[in-house]
Amino acid sequence: MRTVVLGKESPLTVSAVGLGCMGMVSAYPPIPEKKDMIRFAREAFEKGETFFDTAEVYGPYTSEEILGEALHDVRDQVQIATKFGFDIQNGVSVGLDSRPETIRKGVEGSLRRLKTDHIDLLYQHRADPKIPVEVVAETVSRLMEEGKVLHWGMSEVSIRTIRKAHSMLPLTAIQNEYSMWYRDLETELLPVLEELGIGLVCFCSLARGYLTGKLKRTEFSSQDVRSGMPRFSSEKALCANQDLLDFMQVQAAKKGCTMAQMALAWILAKRPWIVPIPGTTKLNRLEENIGAASVEFTTDELKSLNEKLDQIQIYGARYNAQQESTVEK
């Protein structure tokens, strides 16, 4: 697979399509067996994916354990991103926590579970309003001096925080939701990342399965993260957003690819420093996602796609009020 370079001052080269590992252990039931996901993560590497995205809170802990088991003997051939930022008590996240001692404890635990001596890319999972960004940057800087962390990033933080953090310790990547049905960051965030030379890693690049065109359900179990999200919990929103799927289906047929591949290839075409990290637990979907790296658009094709997408209104909020409260504005 071709590669993408994230960041200019502190560059990190990763596979053009990465693997988001949250769904291996949570969010989208039924949750597979751990042994099956260890084998699956190894298969992802053997198929060409070398960029794996996890977090201590996924599980908690089990997603990192899966990658540790699957990749420890090929560690020098992969890039692993993980995250800190939550207070985990008795296996349950009870709130935000980016105190220096919590960051260090989290990193030490991540290193142990990942069976490695370094983390390629360490994110602050969510901004902690109680802890100044200066304190977070200083703590991560010391971990980098110790060789335990090679690059750092932040997830869903404000532009103000990005600028401040980057001025103290150059950021390699920002992680945000971005897809054909969530494009809010195009107006302000993308220009700032381009100005500062910071890469973008996109989660929910297939809109939690919606953009594959294969999601037929309008009801989800209470354990499914989509059950509380307005875009999924409202049948009205799902029906209204069908216009996007209809458009994608036509365009994908013209391009000779699947809807999922077109959605991912569109992200890759937006900027040379953007990487999607779609999550899956199925080998056929993994292979499909990897195939997106080979789909290319001409300048005219991309312009036409963007113009049409601008005309399609998306209905429903991506998060409910509780979820939105963790996103720094």
Pairing relation of β-strands 92-96 and 86-89?
antiparallel
Q: Are 275 and 14 in contact (CB under 8 A)?
A: yes
129 cis-preceded (ω within 30 degrees of 0): no
Give the phi and the psi of residue 300 in degrees, each rounded to 5: -70, -40
Which 8-state DSSP code applies to residue 255?
H
Nearest C-alpha neighbor of 211 from the set 175, 238, 176, 174: 238
Nearest 5°: the CA angle 100, 140, 27 is 80
Q: Of 58, 61, 123, 178, which is the active-site residue?
A: 58
How many residues belong to the chain?
A: 329
Give the phi and the psi of residue 315 in degrees, each rounded to 5: -105, 145
97-106 in b/e burial notation, b at 16+ Cβ within 10 A? bbeeebbbeb
Q: Are 117 and 147 in contact (CB under 8 A)?
A: yes
Whether residue 178 lies in the annotated active site: no
**Which residues are catalytic, by number?**
58
